[in-house]
Amino acid sequence: MKILIKNATVLDMVLDNPNIQKKDILIEKNIISKIEDRILDDVDKVIDAKNMIVMPGLVNTHTHLAMSIFRGYKNDSKLVDWLQNAIFPVEERLKPDDIYWNSYLSCIEMIKSGTTTFNDMYFRMDKTIEAAERSGLRGIIAWSVTDDSIKDKLERTREYFKKYSTEKDSKIKIYVSAHAPHTCNPETLKKCVDLAKELNTGIHIHLPETLKENEIIEEKYAQSGIEYLSDSDVFDVPVVLVHGTYIKNSDIDILKHIKGGISHTPRSNCKFSSNICNITKLHDANINVGIGTDGIETSSTMDMFEEMKVAAYLQKINTQEKSRMSAYEILKMATIEGAKVLGLDNEIGTIEVGKKADIICINRNKTHLYPENDICSNLVYSANGADVDTVIVDGKILMKNRRLIDINEKEVKKKVAKIVKRLL
Ligand SMILES: [Zn+2]
């Protein structure tokens, strides 16, 4: 299959400063094979991207896809009450099929708002994998482990790793997931690290997000979350560290040496009344920072454009400096830097010859995107997920002219409505 994207205004996300040029892009199978002023090859499909900004698909570095049913559910209740009485009891009653349909709904929302790669942790990873495969998205998926019934979950992780690591060109990768420092004791962390080493894969873990969670760690171990993970050898393997709202200055020296990086989840941090992650400081220390929506229960949408906006706004307040961070720096976090956090930067995150064809086209012909004094600024501060017109993942068109290809959204909504009726 050959696809030609012609007349595109390409924002390739390759350099330290924005590179925006009119180009044609040729996709052969799942790879970007040419980027030239004019491509005249015979092709199977042509996408006319006149009036479109064409950029790499967005990389969502932290999700719980199956939590889509919690959208708006008891949002304004107190945190502990909300967790204990609204979220946990429902999660306990989720059936495997519920995980599939809930995850599928999140996948559809991600496609419709320009995300092409996600990094998920939850339970019943087999059902999340099924939903990801059905939707056509690229994803890293993990079975979240706490101190309870750890053996079975790690066994299942090993099983799925073996299945997907042997499939050539698989869009699914498997990570090990320890849930968080305050829910995993040293023994649990050790087992997770041992498995990640055995499989030569990474670990996806939350850092303390709220003040309370941070206090639990400090009281229990007399250490910061980062120091605790470092002493537990978690940084021997690539990591995705989520939130980072209580990173201390002394932690930054440790973080400079990790493989992977931080997943910044600004809307979740705001909703949990937690703290602002100092991504400006992390960035200045050359630590990779990606952006994540977390689950719908906190961010309310899977729209990475909304997440980028809040990330940018919070740093203006955090630094008391209008120039930090720039829109382009934020866009990098949502693309190539996010790909670095996930260890996928050789495959995705930029538009370059030889990379996987994960590409989105954004409709510039919108009132709220006019005039176009600065494309990057418009993308971060003015655009939203509904401006995404066309989505390609691994050389396959998943949405064109905002029409989903081969996905029955109505059916998925119906299934989720039944689950909501049963559980909420
Ligand atoms: Zn989370």
Question: Structural domain boundaries of the chain?
Answer: 2-56+355-404, 58-341
| pLDDT tens profile 275-313 | 999 999 999 999 999 999 999 999 999 999 999 999 999
Asked if residue 79 has pLDDT above 90, the reply is no
CB 55 within 8 A of CB 13: yes
User: What's the gap in Å between 165 CA and the centre of ligand 1?
Assistant: 25
Which pLDDT does position 165 carry in this prediction? 85
The DSSP annotation for 156-205 comes to HHHHHHHHHHSSTT-SEEE-BEE--TTT--HHHHHHHHHHHHHHT--EEE
> pLDDT category, 167, cuts 50, 70, 90?
confident
Q: Any bridge partners for residue 397, and if so which?
A: 392
- The CATH number of the structural domain formed by 58-341 is 3.20.20.140
Compute, in angstroms, the gap from residue 420 CA to the centroid of ligand 1: 21
Residue 349: how many other CB atoms lie within 10 Å: 30
Percent of the chain with pLDDT over 70: 100
**Mean pLDDT, the chain, whole residue set:** 97
Amino acid at 149: S
Helix, strand, or coil here: 135?
helix
> Identity (one letter) of the amino acid at 314?
L
User: What is the spatial distance between Cα 295 and Cα 269, in angstroms, rounded to a whole number?
Assistant: 12
359: region left, alpha or beta (phi > 0 left; psi from -120 to 50 alpha): beta
User: Full-prediction pTM beyond 0.95?
Assistant: yes
* Ligand 1: centre distance to CA 24 (Å): 38
Q: Which residue has the tokens 């906190």?
A: 298
Q: What is the mean predicted confidence (pLDDT) over 144-164?
A: 93
Indicate the range of 83-87, 241-245, 334-338 predicted with least confidence: 83-87
Kindly indicate the confidence band of residue 244, based on its pLDDT and cuts at 50, 70 and 90: very high
Phi, psi of 327, deg, nearest 5: -60, -40
Instruction: Please tell me whether residue 6 adopts helix, strand or coil conformation.
Output: strand
pLDDT, tens only, 39-65: 999 999 999 999 999 999 999 999 999
265 CA to centre of ligand 1 in angstroms: 8
The per-residue pLDDT for 149 is 81
Q: What angle is formed at CA 294 by the lines to CA 291 and CA 297, rounded to 5 degrees?
A: 150
Predicted confidence band of residue 80 (pLDDT cuts 50, 70, 90): confident
Average the pLDDT over 377-402 and give the result: 98
Average pLDDT over residues 250-275: 97
pLDDT for residue 54 = 98
CATH number of the domain located at residue range(s) 2-56+355-404 in this protein: 2.30.40.10
Residue 168 scores a pLDDT above 90:
no
Those residues whose C-beta lies under 8 Å from the C-beta of residue 140, and which sit 6 or more positions away, are: 117, 118, 119, 120, 172, 173, 174, 175, 202, 204, 342, 344
Average pLDDT over residues 105-134: 97
In the reported structure, the alpha carbon of residue 394 is separated from the centroid of ligand 1 by a whole-number distance in angstroms of 26
Cα 301 to middle of ligand 1, angstroms: 14
Between the CA of 64 and the centroid of ligand 1 the distance, in Å, is: 6
Q: With pLDDT > 90 as the criterion, what percentage of the chain qualifies?
A: 96
Amino acid letter for position 29: K
β-partners of residue 119 are 140
Q: Which three-class secondary structure state does DSSP give residue 58?
A: strand
Q: How far is the CA of 291 from the centre of ligand 1 (A)?
A: 12
> Cα of 356 to ligand 1 centre, how many Å?
27
74's CB contacts (< 8 A; 6+ apart) are 82, 86
Q: Is pLDDT at 169 greater than 90 in this prediction?
A: no
Q: How far is 66 from 124, CA to CA, in rounded Å?
A: 10
Q: Ligand 1 centre from 178 Cα, in Å?
A: 11
**C-alpha of residue 34 to centroid of ligand 1, in Å:** 38
Q: Quick one: how far is CA 367 from the chain centroid?
A: 28
**pLDDT at 402 exceeding the cut of 90:** yes
Two structure tokens written together for 29: 């199978």
Q: Give dist(CA 110, CA 403) in Å, integer.
A: 14
Distance 120 CA to ligand 1 centre (A): 9
pLDDT at 319: 94
Question: Using CA atoms, how far apart are residues 61 and 308, in angstroms rounded to an integer?
Answer: 12
Integer distance in angstroms from the first to the last C-alpha of the chain?
A: 45
Distance 179 CA to ligand 1 centre (A): 9
CA of 204 to the centre of ligand 1 (A): 10
Distance 261 CA to ligand 1 centre (A): 15
Residue 62 Cα, ligand 1 centroid: separation in angstroms?
7
How many A from CA of 19 to the centre of ligand 1? 33
